[in-house]
Chain A
Amino acid sequence: NAGVTQTPKFQVLKTGQSMTLQCAQDMNHNSMYWYRQDPGMGLRLIYYSASEGTTDKGEVPNGYNVSRLNKREFSLRLESAAPSQTSVYFCASSEADKIGGELFFGEGSRLTVL
C-alpha cells in the first residue's frame, strides 16, 4: 500500500498563476485534510472532507478551493497564487470520526510563489 500520495513534490509559480495539488489515499479512509506548514507556526488546517461528497473550511481557507473527487482523492486548488501561499502543503487522511484518530500524512508538496 502506498498510503497517502500527493503530487507534485515541488512547484514554483509566479504570482497570479493557478495550480492544483493532487492527493490520493489507498487506505479506504473517510476523512481527508489539507494542511500547510510554515516555520514557527506548526500545521494549519486549510480544508477538510469528513466524507465523500462533503468539504468544509479549516483555519486558513482564504485563497484555496478543494474538491473531493471520490473517496480516494482530495485536491487543493490555488486559483491566483500569492507569495503568502509559499509553504509546504501536506495532505492527510484518517479513519477518524467524531472521537479523533491518527492522521496519515503524504510526503508534502513544497510550493514557492515568486
Chain B
Amino acid sequence: GENVEQHPSTLSVQEGDSAVIKCTYSDSASNYFPWYKQELGKRPQLIIDIRSNVGEKKDQRIAVTLNKTAKHFSLHITETQPEDSAVYFCAASTPDSWGKLQFGAGTQVVVTP
C-alpha cells in the first residue's frame, strides 16, 4: 500500500521567515495530495490540496509543489505568522480510494515572534 514520509518532524521559524515541509510517497499511482493543519487541541482542517495533473498551487501565503517523477510534494508557507504555529500533515491517495488518505506523521511548526 501507499506509504507517506514527512520531514522534518519539528520546525522552528522566526516570524516573517518561510517554512517548507517535504513529503515523499511510494505509490506512483497516487493522484491526490492534500495538506491538513491541526491547531493544538483542535480537529485537522484542509488548507490546500493538489492533484497530479498540476505541478504547483498557491493560496495567499501557502503553496504546494508536486514532483511526480521524484514522488515528492512540499508545502511552502511564506511570511510566517504566530497563527501558523500548528501541526501540519501531508497525505496522499490513489484513484479508486473512495477518499481514503494515507497521512504522513506530521510536522510541528513553531513560529517565534
List residues of chain A with CB under 8 Å of any chain B CB: 31, 33, 40-45, 48, 50, 58-59, 90, 94, 96-103, 105-108
| 13 more A-B residue pairs beyond the given contacts A96-B99, A103-B44, with a C-beta to C-beta distance below 8 A | A40-B9, A42-B104, A43-B103, A45-B102, A48-B99, A58-B100, A59-B102, A100-B31, A100-B32, A100-B93, A100-B97, A102-B46, A102-B49
B71 smallest CB distance to A (angstroms): 17
A-B contact pairs, 14 of them (CB 8 A): A40-B105, A42-B6, A42-B89, A42-B104, A42-B105, A42-B106, A45-B100, A94-B99, A99-B31, A99-B32, A100-B31, A102-B46, A103-B46, A107-B42
> How far does the Cβ of A52 sit from chain B's closest Cβ, in whole Å?
13
| B interface bracket (residues with beta carbon within 8 Å of A) | 20 to 34
Chain A residue at smallest Cβ distance from B99: A96
Q: Is B59 an interface position by the 8 A CB rule? A: no
B45 at the interface (CB under 8 A from A): yes
Interface centre among A43, A59, A100, A102 (most CB of B within 10 A): A100
A100: chain B residues within 8 A (beta carbon): 31-32, 34, 51, 93, 97, 99, 101
Would you list which residues of chain B between 41 and 100 have a CB under 8 Å from chain A?
A: 42-46, 49, 51, 89, 93, 95-100
> Which 5 residue pairs across A and B have the least CB separation, nearest first?
A96-B99, A100-B32, A42-B103, A105-B43, A50-B98
Question: Which residues of chain A are within 8 angstroms of B51 by Cβ–Cβ distance?
Answer: 99-100
Measured between alpha carbons, how far is A106 from B101 in the docked complex, in Å? 16
Q: Which residues of B contact A94 (CB under 8 A)?
A: 99
A97 close to B44 (CB less than 8 A): no
Provide the residues of chain A in CB contact with B89, threshold 8 Å: 42-43
B103 contacts across to A, CB distance below 8 A: 42-44
